[in-house]
Structure formats: C-alpha cells, structure tokens
Amino acid sequence: MGEETFHIVMYPWFALGHLTSFLHLSNKLAERGHKISFLLPSKTIKKFQPFNLHPDLIIFIPVTVPHVDGLPPGSETTTDVPFSLHSLLMTAMDLTESVIEFHLTNLKPNFVFFDFTHWLPALCRKLGVKSVHYCTISPATVGYLISPERKLLEKSLTAADLMKPPLNFPPSSIKLRAHEAQGLAAVTTKPYGSSISFLERQLHSFNECDAISFKTCMEMEGPYCHYVERQFGKPVILAGPVVPKSPSSVLDEKISNMLDNSEAGKVVFCAFGSECILKKNQLQELVLGLELTGLPFLAALKPPMGAETIESALPEGFEERVKGKGYVYGGWVQQQLILKHPSVGCFITHCGSGSLSEAMVNKCQLVLLPNVGDQIINARLMDGDLKIGVEVEKGEEDGLFTKDGVRKAVKAVMDDDSEVGKEVRTNHMKWREFLLSKGLENSYIDAFVNKLHALLG
C-alpha cells in the first residue's frame, strides 16, 4: 500500500483514562495524515475538544448512551457513576451495537480500534473491517491474569490461582498478596455488562480481534509482549511510549503560586486519577502521612466513600496544622503541568498507566500506591522489574496502608543518602532519557503503521 493513509474508527470503553489514551494515539496517527473517526458519548465531546490536536483529521462522532434501568439519567462515562454501577454503563455501551454498525457501514474504515466491546470483532468481520484490540493495560497484566494457558473458560478463577503466575510466564518480580489475589479473582469473575463476566469479555476481545496492540516499548516489556503474542497466537503491535504533548493551558493560579513559592524538587504531589475513591480512614492515613514527611505537598483526591466534600473528610485539626504548606483538592487538577513543574520532587500515584506514562518523562520520583486491578501489577513492574519507584507497604491480609508507610516510602525516594533513593533516581533518569530520546517515538509509530499495512495484506 506504500504511503497510503488509513481511516481508523476509535471506540474505547467510556472511561476517561481509556478515552484519553485512544485520543493520544489518534493525535500521533493524525500527525502522519491518517484519518480518525472517534466515537464517544455526546456530552463528553466538549471535554476532549481541547486535546484534539488535529481537528481536520480527527472527527468526533457523538454516541447517545442508551438508558439502562438503575443507571442515573445522563450518565455517560465511569466518572459519572460509582464503581458499583460500571457494569450497567457497560450494558448501555453493549446496547450501542446497532448504532456502531450503522456508523461503520457509512464510514467504511480500514480498522476499528476497541477494548471492552467484545462484540466488535465479529461485527468488523461481517463488514470486512480489521479489528485491533488497543489495550490500555500492560502486556504483563494481560499475560499474568488472563493468559489462555490458565484455561479460564474451563474453570473458575480463584485467588489461589492468582498467587502464582501461569506456567510459561516470563521470569519477573510480579507477586500478588492474598488480599490482592482475592480482589482480582472476585472482580474478574463478576458480571460486567450484558450477562458476561469481565474475564469472558476480555478473553473474547483478545481471541476474536485481528491484532492486539499496547502502548509500551519492547525495551521495557519485551518478554511480556512475546508471551502474549505466543499465547493468543496473533500479532502484537506496539505503539511505543505515546508521550502526550504538553497542554497549551496554564496552571490554576492558586496551584501555580504554591509551586512557584516552593523550593525546587521538594514538593510531594499526590493524585489518584479520576476514578479512585478511598475509604475515609485510608484517605486520612494518606494525608497524615503527607504531613509526617515534613515536606510541602499538594494532593488531588476524590472525596472518600460517604463524604460530600474532601474537606469534610480530613482529620480534625489537619487543615490548620498544614496551612500554607499543604493543600488538598477535591477536584480535577492539571496533572501534566504539575508533574513538569521544577518544584515537584515526588509523585504519589495510584499507578494507572496514563499517570505512570506522564510521570516517567518527568524528573519527580515515584511512590507507588496501587488501588485495584492492573494498577497492582504496574506497581510491581515499576518497583521490582524496572526499580524506578518505591511501593507503600500494606498489610498482607487486609491491604491497608498506614501514615507511617506513606512517610517511609516518600523518605526512601527523597532522602539524598537513601540507598534505595539513589537506585530509583538513577533508573528513573535512565528510562526518562530513553523515553525522550530523539527518534524513539517516531520509529515506533512508523513501525506501528507498517504493521497495520501488513494486516491489510
């Protein structure tokens, strides 16, 4: 096909992290002249317009989210509903199949990139379109949790199964604790959408698509990529780091003043993404841990379960004690711009893949505090395999962390004389230089495009 351009339809799961990840890739492909039709919920389009860097080539197509009993009216993405209702949102997304068929019939794309809509590969085959499962979770997570050699459709997944990796899984530092294995086994086997479990949905998506794609580099996760390719028996194509361009907006004035008036590399920034909601006692341990570090801090956290506002959930006397030195926000903050600020020396993250990508190309040190699912395996990769962060200790059985555990992890990466700190700083610098090296991203996206050409044969 030579230098011909493609027409790609994007239809990610209606979660902001997934929509954002697909849009970052869309921007990279549009830079090379490829046309993108991006299907997303109607009211969500406005939120994403500022991040569309090529509006002439990336066209947003609104999708009305069907009503499902039990789903609050007007709900469109996972940020609109608690975690317990995500399954109903998935049911609503499954009900869009006929609408998506209408769009694909009219658009006649070369490819559809998808993730959770397990029915898309069959629809694509019917219409003569190639389907690519663009997976926002890491190849290590896919390989560890849902490898075909676990024979998950023949027997139920148990916590005991997850305590050890699949037989042929690459050597790694990934180990799950009892509470993590129990949580993952419970979540993956629960119904997720229309009468299908999360596990079955994922296995169907991987087994039926024409190719699997990840946002990662062979240099970082090569053994896991090869393992997934062998296990599922289909091409795994890597998009590379897909580092998003810095937003053109400026920092909120209050945050900007706080950071500008702080010493370089001393501020601890803590953010847990758009969906992570802690229990009140864990949120209090976290902020008390930040206070114990003695360092200036900025935390962006959702109000905990049962609390209307973040302020109402803070420990008694906390705000007075940290006044002028520590700030806790309950709303959205400009994470990319904050991570870039020279005052920020440490980032406490929930280990979502988007947040880790943004952190790794900046200079702040990583403290890892995973909450659910793939975040746990991401944390083990960062702490164990790559040694570029320190994970906060948690109770083996209950999975709870303490304020002292938070303080210790921050001190470990921030103290100049800490041996662990020296190691993670050196490794972080090495990987940062690699990810930002001239030509790396272009070579990955060029190879990605060539492999898409090969799929069309």
Asked if residues 424 and 365 have their Cβ atoms less than 8 Å apart, the reply is yes
Q: How many residues are present in the chain?
A: 457
CA–CA distance, 285 with 292 (Å, rounded to integer): 10
Q: Which of 115, 374, 383, 385 is catalytic?
A: 115
Residue 374 annotated in active site: no
β-pairing, 35-41 vs 326-329, is unpaired
Asked if residues 329 and 301 have their Cβ atoms less than 8 Å apart, the reply is yes
Residue 103 annotated in active site: no
Q: Which of 18, 86, 204, 350 is catalytic?
A: 18
Cβ atoms within 10 A of the Cβ of 1, count?
12
Write the DSSP assignment of 398-420 as a string of letters.
Answer: T----HHHHHHHHHHHH-TT-HH
Geometric angle at alpha carbon 105, from 104 and 109, rounded to 5°: 50
CA–CA distance, 353 with 375 (Å, rounded to integer): 7
What torsion do the CA atoms of 95, 97, 103, 104 make, to the nearest 10 degrees? Answer: 160
Catalytic residues: 18, 115
